[in-house]
Structure 1
């Protein structure tokens, strides 16, 4: 653990103007606040924030970041507050500490919701200042280094999985590859202990058998380049166990079949020398087609720049070579953190495009599951490059489609997409893009995202925007239904309802906009009685609790749709509550609800099928029956009596056939549910007046 004077001296070596007194105060503050708290390792708790601050000094970050690192756990784990931090260290440090601090109110949430809320707050704070991310990554890295001290295996597994899913990819996306590799290695050791041990032992065996082969190849590469007049540094290393395991998993091969275990870095003086070195290596050894990547002319989203190639070395050995300048190397290993040391407080420089996409995802995500899903999709690696017709470059995940590309260019373009040309040819929107494709998006004036797009888009930004658009459309439909129902409710209130009454009702219901009220009514979140009481308190006092509302007798609710979304019961099968049901949705049409055994479903194979069920507020469904009566006086009256005895309202009666001595009718009757309809059929079949009764 760094002593107080050692930490201050490290900062002063690269920032002579740093406020020594503020650094000393922060060091003492964290020691005092954490006091006798212990970590799982038995070390004093304050050793953790001090080590995190040390990691920040290694990156030569500004004093505000160092102080934030020292204080980052005080609000979460001690009695200190953000106001205390601001009073002692100023508003900038308080804002940064707040960005790193977890929300104390979310401890009672389910695990996935707690993780999602932490991530939501963290991403929003990170969008304001990238230093929040730098401190958080250092915090997670040090926690991973001490993970083995935690006794509960399930807790170690959870932390390791979260690190692998969220923090290691985030480190990669800001170019902090050293952090990414160490996080992955430590998480891999916890998540796959057997694989980690096996691969580590195999690497040790290779190391003992090769007689310094890595150093020998590095020296041979350096000599080859020196003979061509290039002054370079060459470093060789084995790939770490997680990287090897990933290749084994992706290629479905054994350890022996992973041929490019060794990787070498060639460090040059200039960008020109990078390309000269590449030419020398390609003329000396055969390079492997398809394995060359030029990230100098086309940098990665995180600013990573380097030339990558794979060579067939002696004895058919494959080796990977990365060629870069010294400045590229520093930037590549520590990414935005390295850049921050030279351009402090330049928010625009750190506000990279993918980060803006993440913030859009935070805004668009509906719940915890969506947020975690979309964020993971947004920060994972494996990218391709595609161009607009004007030559603008966009990086996307492998498997991305034209729809993903449209949303990457701009959310509004994605929302207006109706078609696409790939390399000048009209192609289906679901077509995966390849490296170097030129994509032209075709817009429509009245276009809107389709729910079916969720079946093939791969970016979190596209998925979040599509879901949000669909939800907004469905909300508008529900609110429209609510407006009609509101008019019926208002007509029963003993007062004239104007804008003022609605405004007061919103306050009573703790709502902000009239649209919120209409949506709540349409989605059956408010009863008629609740709405009436909000409009005119006391006006329902004389009503019985179970009194039926004349204009609202027929209420059908369906589960499986966005609450209250517009739907119709199919007239081909007339489903009633109790039937197993599915929904059919075609573009621009209302959802049609069918009984599962309806023959018309065979015509809906190219539509969206929705798995539905009946809601609690379902009454007044219409059942259709075919009834054949004996053709004699009184039989029709007897049939009508059966419906009346079973409290079923007949809404239509159609004579379809007169074939003495029988008369056939088609009858539509309002029923409560399938059981009610079945009782009516049983009563009809038991009657001497009825020859046959079937549900149609």
Structure 2
């Protein structure tokens, strides 16, 4: 047992607290320091016997969350107090009432929003989703709850190394699923980028490390290039007596990885690995003119790409982001992104909503961020969706780009990218949307599902005979439109669902199945319906044939024949595994533990040995093994983390798995023969299937192979890359 040096720990706690006060100094007024001290003392006493998984005193965590609130987000005293106390109600004996008596109703309200819901939830929902909903609903009361929660999540991600693997995957998946998009939407770009990078680090460490190493290897060359690139720009800025700062920094690891995946190219082929940022000091009144003046200076020296000009100064992004972006060709033939902004714009870009409010008082300038928060508040206070639907609905509003359109009177409306004429109608007014039969764009009639383009001037056509239809949900992307359409359909659906319920009950009686809450949930899952009402409505309308319930009965009976284990969640499974294999065993070994519990390889991602994997306890199909980078992994782990189990590959069992790769090259006689020789003769790999096409001299082959693990596959890919005239080779998702 490690001996704890209490005196040293107390010194460290005091040092961290002093550092927090120093960071907070610019924000403090009157007796703020004594209120913060009081909150610190309460937290210190409440957490005195608690330690984090790393072994550190728990109090380090609230101090660090408070520091992030001040230093990285720019929040003030109330937020510091709430951050210091954010875990005391959930983790200690202190009550919300006591917090209110000591620090007032505002701090108590914020802490209530940060405290997780306890208790048992009905099947088909998710405790994580319920907690997300509770936290997000505070947007209608106090946005600081969300900002403190982001600070809390950032510190948890920075210290995730000490957590067990299944917890790492759960927390990281929640982060990329909701918290990183939330940081993006609130304009916290630095926090958003770090959360994304940390997610990649814990979900796919090898990829993260490889990109990080390559960024580091190119650091010196990048520095030399940046110095040379900015030299003529600096000279011109100086001659124009402009006050400025120039920064050159690489893109985030996550954004580089995204580009590599989207373009199917290696690191070396990503052209815009870094951006040059020019930050200007100038009065608010002349910001726009100065930014365009600097744009003119940059493009005097370097040729711009006309398709890559982004003007977020004239109209800011929906999260308040303002900047002028251009991509220019350097003298050495490299594309370089240049961002031009003022000091005010830069602070809003880095610190988001808190900085936006600080400058709003000085400039009296409202932004689209205020409008977005107002819309979200409307959506949240009126939504009657389930927790999972609610979170999914909210999430769909986070990462969207915008489209700028105008009313017939010339009023600007900013809507998410891919919004339709129907979205526009609902944005104007609920009744206009409900009665919309079409629209006119540039005096031409367009249908309800017409996708709006930047600059469109839209006139909505209505009819009193019109009413929302189910198909409209496929036409809209905005939450407001979806919520109003659902609301209109709800009453009709309720009537149909009652009819459907009677049909199902009759069928269950015929099949001698007793209807219970578990049975209802299993039937809904069997038909892949998100909620009970949708399922029963489809039964009533015949969209789902009630005869199909017979298949449900057959599946249920066949599952009884299999050993799927009795574990409804990860904790139960680990307990079951330890009982059978010993106390030190809490990881499902693929290829070895079939005698303990049955599991199947998930068909959505088909993992092979060497892939990072996790097990997921499904409702009716036992345990499924997924890759950590499976397309469905983030949603499964973020909404149902309690059903994620640790899994790994048993090394001793030799099994063949199917994997697919894509080969692209310049077509020539004998190319296929050269590839198959590498596969069959050099690597002794059997081919399951091969599809080949050639167009305009470019060869493309999709090959399915039986391989033993990822090392086997990677060795094969390296050898094929050496075949003359091959341009690209990489693994792709398997499709049956």
Q: TM-score range by the shorter chain?
A: 0.5 to 0.7
What CA distance in whole angstroms lies between the structure 2 residues aligned with 1:164 and 1:241? 14
Q: Which residue of 2 aligns with 1:416?
A: 435
Residues 270-317 of structure 1: per-residue CA shift (max 9 Å, x gap): 312111111121222111012111111101112111111111111221
What CA distance in whole angstroms lies between the structure 2 residues aligned with 1:405 and 1:563? 28
Residues 650-674 of structure 1: per-residue CA shift (max 9 Å, x gap): xxxxxxxxxxxxxxxxxxxxxxxxx
Q: Which residue of 1 aligns with 2:90?
A: 76
CA RMSD of aligned residues (A): 3.2
Verify the 8 A CA contact 1:389 1:440 in the aligned structure 2: yes
Instruction: Output aligned runs, 1:353-372, within 5 Å.
Output: 353-362=371-380, 363-372=382-391
Residues 223-267 of structure 1: per-residue CA shift (max 9 Å, x gap): 233345533221111111111112222333332221111201111
Q: Which residue of 2 aligns with 1:145?
A: 158
Q: Which residue of 2 aligns with 1:164?
A: 176
The number of residues matched between the two structures is 504
The answer on 1:390 being equivalent to 2:409 is: yes
Q: Which residue of 2 aligns with 1:27?
A: 40
Please give the TM-score of this superposition, normalised by the length of structure 1: 0.67
What CA distance in whole angstroms lies between the structure 1 residues aligned with 2:319 and 2:266? 32
What CA distance in whole angstroms lies between the structure 1 residues aligned with 2:221 and 2:360? 47
Q: Which residue of 2 aligns with 1:253?
A: 265
Structure 1 pair 254–437 and aligned structure 2 pair: CA distance change class (3 A): farther
Q: Which residue of 2 aligns with 1:448?
A: 467
What CA distance in whole angstroms lies between the structure 1 residues aligned with 2:360 and 2:181? 24
Q: Which residue of 2 aligns with 1:306?
A: 323
Alpha-carbon shift at residue 386 of structure 1 (Å): 2.3
Q: Which residue of 1 aligns with 2:370?
A: 352
Q: Which residue of 2 aligns with 1:182?
A: 194
What CA distance in whole angstroms lies between the structure 2 residues aligned with 1:325 and 1:243? 24
Structure 1 pair 236–18 and aligned structure 2 pair: CA distance change class (3 A): farther
The answer on 1:289 being equivalent to 2:306 is: yes
Verify the 8 A CA contact 2:133 2:391 in the aligned structure 1: no
SS at the partner of 2:396?
Answer: helix
Verify the 8 A CA contact 2:96 2:112 in the aligned structure 1: yes
Alpha-carbon shift at residue 91 of structure 1 (Å): 0.9
Q: Which residue of 2 aligns with 1:635?
A: none
The answer on 1:611 being equivalent to 2:544 is: yes
Which of 97, 113, 120 is equivalent to 2:133?
Answer: 120
What CA distance in whole angstroms lies between the structure 2 residues aligned with 1:17 and 1:415? 53
What CA distance in whole angstroms lies between the structure 2 residues aligned with 1:566 and 1:242? 42
The answer on 1:320 being equivalent to 2:332 is: no
Alpha-carbon shift at residue 406 of structure 1 (Å): 2.7
Instruction: List runs of 5+ in structure 2 lacking aligned partners.
Output: 1-12, 506-526, 550-736
Residues 616-672 of structure 1: per-residue CA shift (max 9 Å, x gap): 9xxxxxxxxxxxxxxxxxxxxxxxxxxxxxxxxxxxxxxxxxxxxxxxxxxxxxxxx
SS at the partner of 2:426?
Answer: helix
Identify which range, 330-339 or 235-244, moves more after superposition.
330-339
What CA distance in whole angstroms lies between the structure 1 residues aligned with 2:502 and 2:548? 10
Instruction: List runs of 5+ in structure 1 lacking aligned partners.
Output: 479-518, 528-558, 568-581, 584-590, 594-609, 617-696
Verify the 8 A CA contact 1:61 1:341 in the aligned structure 2: no
What CA distance in whole angstroms lies between the structure 2 residues aligned with 1:356 and 1:350? 10
What CA distance in whole angstroms lies between the structure 2 residues aligned with 1:350 and 1:402? 20
What CA distance in whole angstroms lies between the structure 2 residues aligned with 1:388 and 1:306? 26
Please give the TM-score of this superposition, normalised by the length of structure 2: 0.63
Q: Which residue of 1 aligns with 2:420?
A: 401
Verify the 8 A CA contact 2:449 2:475 in the aligned structure 1: yes
Q: Which residue of 1 aligns with 2:3?
A: none
Residues 75-95 of structure 1: per-residue CA shift (max 9 Å, x gap): 111111111111111111101
Alpha-carbon shift at residue 521 of structure 1 (Å): 9.7
Residues 40-68 of structure 1: per-residue CA shift (max 9 Å, x gap): 11111111111111112214422111100
Which of 201, 226, 249 is equivalent to 1:237?
Answer: 249
The answer on 1:99 being equivalent to 2:128 is: no
Please tell me whether Structure 1 or Structure 2 has the larger radius of gyration of its CA atoms: 1
Verify the 8 A CA contact 1:421 1:441 in the aligned structure 2: yes
Verify the 8 A CA contact 1:374 1:464 in the aligned structure 2: no
What CA distance in whole angstroms lies between the structure 2 residues aligned with 1:150 and 1:241? 23
Structure 1 pair 199–50 and aligned structure 2 pair: CA distance change class (3 A): same
Instruction: Output aligned runs, 1:468-547, within 5 Å.
Output: 468-475=487-494, 477=495
What CA distance in whole angstroms lies between the structure 1 residues aligned with 2:123 and 2:52? 25
Structure 1 pair 397–102 and aligned structure 2 pair: CA distance change class (3 A): same
Q: Which residue of 1 aligns with 2:275?
A: 263
SS at the partner of 2:437?
Answer: strand
Structure 1 pair 376–13 and aligned structure 2 pair: CA distance change class (3 A): closer
What CA distance in whole angstroms lies between the structure 2 residues aligned with 1:441 and 1:350? 23
Structure 1 pair 88–10 and aligned structure 2 pair: CA distance change class (3 A): same
What CA distance in whole angstroms lies between the structure 1 residues aligned with 2:55 and 2:27? 33
Alpha-carbon shift at residue 169 of structure 1 (Å): 1.2
Verify the 8 A CA contact 2:316 2:367 in the aligned structure 1: no
Verify the 8 A CA contact 1:403 1:417 in the aligned structure 2: yes
Q: Which has the higher contact order (CA 8 A, sep 6+)?
A: 2
What CA distance in whole angstroms lies between the structure 2 residues aligned with 1:10 and 1:283? 42
Identify which range, 288-297 or 365-374, moves more after superposition.
365-374
What CA distance in whole angstroms lies between the structure 2 residues aligned with 1:423 and 1:293? 24
SS at the partner of 2:212?
Answer: helix
What CA distance in whole angstroms lies between the structure 1 residues aligned with 2:503 and 2:47? 47
